[in-house]
């Protein structure tokens, strides 16, 4: 009689070679190929550069690394974490408005002025609907890029306009893949 511990059974189904994660890769025809651990690991290590590529519109289907990164950032848990980071930015901006400290070099006035758009962004990121990786990547880059409108007083892009552009790409009605 072979009795398997419940935890071992659960582990078999999550990382078992017979049940690998899959990544969509386009070609002629559309194929489903296993997502390799190496791709997922590299995509995590190169996250910032891959996010920038996705944010400007490169298709996730162009490379296994872009596909693995897109798969990770569109997961609801990743999107909700990003939404919490945007909420934290709003709290910090309210707290430090009118003060300057090099360690908190956010443009609090711009952030507070964009609060309605940021609130909509948080709701879009938190919604349990499928969204395109581009919108999530745009929201990530806005929050993490020191040369962008959140931090750089010389940025040519107003923060509210950049947030609205990310929201537009998070519309669940948009196709998730190019046809």
- Please tell me the pTM assigned to this model: 0.76
Domain ranges within the chain, ordered by starting residue? 6-73, 76-169
Query: 47 or 26, which is more confident?
Result: 47
Going by C-beta distance under 8 Å and a sequence separation of 6 or more, which residues neighbour residue 34? Answer: 20, 21, 22, 23
Q: Rounded mean pLDDT of 10-36?
A: 45
> Do 118 and 163 form a contact (C-beta atoms < 8 A)?
yes
What confidence tens digit (pLDDT) does each residue in 45-67 have? 888 889 999 999 999 888 898 99
In 3-state terms, what secondary structure has residue 35?
A: coil
Would the pLDDT of 86 be above 70?
Answer: yes
Going by C-beta distance under 8 Å and a sequence separation of 6 or more, which residues neighbour residue 68? Answer: 23, 35, 39, 40, 42, 43
| Average of per-residue pLDDT values in the chain | 80
Q: How confident is the model at residue 119 (pLDDT cuts 50, 70, 90)?
A: very high
pLDDT for the residue numbered 108: 87
> Do 96 and 57 form a contact (C-beta atoms < 8 A)?
no
CA 14/CA 75 separation, integer angstroms = 16
Query: 68 or 28, which is more confident?
Result: 68
pLDDT for the residue numbered 178: 66
Q: Rounded mean pLDDT of 113-139?
A: 96
φ, ψ for residue 23 (rounded to 5)?
-125, 135
């Amino acid at each position: 009689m072979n009795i398997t511990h419940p935890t071992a059974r659960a582990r078999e189904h999550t990382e078992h070679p017979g049940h690998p994660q899959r990544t969509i890769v386009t070609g002629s025809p559309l194929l489903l190929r296993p997502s390799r651990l190496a791709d997922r690991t590299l995509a995590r290590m190169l996250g910032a550069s891959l996010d920038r590529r996705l944010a400007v519109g490169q298709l996730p289907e162009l490379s296994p690394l872009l596909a693995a990164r897109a798969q990770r950032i569109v997961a609801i848990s990743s999107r909700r974490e990003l939404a919490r980071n945007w909420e934290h930015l709003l709290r910090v901006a309210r707290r430090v408005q009118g003060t300057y400290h090099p360690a908190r070099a956010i443009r609090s006035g711009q952030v507070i002025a964009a609060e309605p758009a940021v609130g909509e962004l948080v709701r879009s990121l938190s919604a349990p609907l499928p969204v395109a990786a581009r919108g999530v990547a745009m929201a990530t880059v806005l929050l993490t890029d020191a040369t962008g409108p959140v931090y750089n007083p010389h940025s040519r892009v107003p923060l509210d306009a950049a947030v609205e552009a990310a929201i537009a790409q998070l519309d669940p009605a948009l196709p998730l893949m190019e046809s």
